[in-house]
Structures are given as structure tokens and as C-alpha cells.
Structure 1
């Protein structure tokens, strides 16, 4: 999710498409939060690890 967000961010910035930039930023933030929660050992969506 983080990688997809970064790709969309880059495409959005290079092509000057604000929708892609916004969606990419949201995906990066959500992916980072899920990654941190999973690394702390908290169950995310019923799973012990999120990957």
C-alpha cells in the first residue's frame, strides 16, 4: 500500500494531477499507520501481521 501510494504521488506530481497526489498521500499515510500497528503486535483487521 505504501509503495502504491508513493508511485501515485510521483505520477500525480509529475503530471500535475491533484487527484492522484491526494490519493497517493492518503495511501502512504494509511499504509504507514497499518505498518506501525502491525509492528507493535496489535491485531489489524483481525490479523496479527499486516503485509
Structure 2
């Protein structure tokens, strides 16, 4: 009786990971998940928030 429960848990675990991967890929293709290299070098505070943390 224990095998069906483990089997369903493994199936659900795999399904969640596959769906999450697909969602992340769609977001990456449409909006992008990373900033441009220039924005990363300049600093995220200035490019994203318009604030300067360290002077």
C-alpha cells in the first residue's frame, strides 16, 4: 500500500519542477530574468531605484 503514495509524490515532485521550468523560460523569453551587463556593473541601486547607497 505504501508504493502508490510514494509514486504519486514522485510524480507530483517532477511535475512541479517541469512546470516551474516552463514558467521561468517563458518569463525569460518575454521579460528577461537578468539585467544587462552595464546595469550590473553600474549597480542595481542606481539603475533600478534611482538611489545611491554608498558615496
TM-score, L = length of structure 2: 0.46
Task: Tell me which of the two structures has the higher relative contact order, counting C-alpha pairs closer than 8 angstroms and 6 or more residues apart.
Answer: 1
Computing the radius of gyration over CA atoms, which structure comes out larger, 1 or 2? 2
